[in-house]
Amino acid sequence: MRYSRDMTGYGEAPPDADWPGGARIAVQIVLNYEEGGENSIEHGDAASEAFLSEIVGAAPWPGQRHWNMETIYDYGARAGFWRLYRLLKDLPVTVYGVATALERSPEQVSAMLAAGWEMATHGLKWIDYKDVPAETEAAHLREAIRIHTEVTGARPLGFYQGRASMNTVRLGAEEGGFEYLADSYADDLPYWTEHQGRAQLIVPYTLDANDMRFATPQGFNSGDQFFAYLKDSFDALYREGAAGAAKMMSVGLHCRLAGRPGRAEAVRRFVEYAKGHEGVWFATRLDIARHWATRHPYAPRLRPSQMAREDFMARFGGIYEHSPFIAERAFDAEMGAAHDSASGLGARMAQIFRGASDDERLGVLRAHPDLAGKLAQARRLTAESTSEQASAGLDALTDAERAGFEALNEAYTEKHGFPFIIAVRDHDKRGIMAAMERRVRNETETERKEAERQVIRIAQLRLNEVFK
């Protein structure tokens, strides 16, 4: 089974964003322009709009127009847009423009272009695509690009559907002309995905630092709350940037929501607050995407979860000494992006080993060779064991040292029923000898547990070498 979600991402040590000028934070403001693209009988839809308005909890009206809903959206185009435009026109802004909304708002589009704002596409219509067939959604995307290009004079280079389906990101990648996709909330930094052998950059968006929460239960109910949340988000990310882990902060605005006077004031306060700090890079999403593609270009990497069985076994079948069943069971188990690293695959294989029967685990122990034993002298060790023993100098022993190892090996195996096992790359030959002398005196139950821990450690070290 292959698991599609990536729960690992950049992990504990994200890459250095290296924002221009050494900025501690990249602040990215999105203006969603949806007014005129929402569900409406007049737009050919089956029902009225019910999403993101002053009427919290509104339901669609099948077959009927909704005067209150339509005029709320009208406010966004007629008044809200211009209020936010005056406030933001001197800043880099990305517009998520619904194609049919842009088409119905030529004056607003002219103002956006005059301000030099980035014009990304927000799809053809502001509708929910969760139940829309993939081929229909793809056709809508093509039509959105056509209208957008005709209305603005250039094709969009960024895409955010918003009310996305499980097909949206795939369709955006397959379209092939987007420098970034934004239908993700998975990170504070851009990241790369791969689809059908092609790299696609994702610049994640936000639903929390977003005025949409004025239109949701338990959301913001005052401008002060919105400002406080934006400020706290900025402060946290700015502090991380000062510590050497710069991030991106997205702010989502809607003309009919943040364009209202009491909310626009919160936006103004936040912009002034952010401007009052050194090391703040205000950028469009396209700016960020191009910076990331330059500083952190896509780099193909080993992905075990995507390998064919034959290739997987060839690469990992020998990680546990002469015990390919561990790799076989790992391949057959749920695998995904979390297992596409040395630590991730090591954890999965260790889980398989721990879950094996007592006889199977004992068989793995007994598959390990004696240290500096007869197999080593006869050069009959696996390549991994040969390299490991050489790393600790066990291939260059004096006669006295070899005799000492042989005597301890014999005593250990006779007492415990399996060979002495230690991750030799963690030790030198003197440390290994001392460990043998100490551990040969242990009770077998204690030593069995220690030997199994060492088997897991050896496997992890081998995987670390494979993933270098």
Active site residues: 368
Cα(418)–Cα(359) distance, integer angstroms: 12
Pairing of the two strands 180-181 and 247-254:
unpaired
Which residues, listed in sequence order, are joined to residue 47 by a DSSP beta bridge?
Answer: 62
Cβ-based neighbours of 101, under 8 Å, separated by 6 or more: 33, 34, 35, 36, 37, 38, 77, 122, 126
Rounded to 5 degrees, what are φ and ψ at 464? -60, -40
Burial of 107 (0-12, 13-18, 19+ CB in 10 A): exposed
| CA 285-288-290 angle, 5° bins | 110
Question: How many Å apart are CA 424 and CA 458, to the nearest integer?
Answer: 8
Q: Provide the CA 296 distance to its chain's centre, in angstroms.
A: 14
CA distance 2 to 431: 42
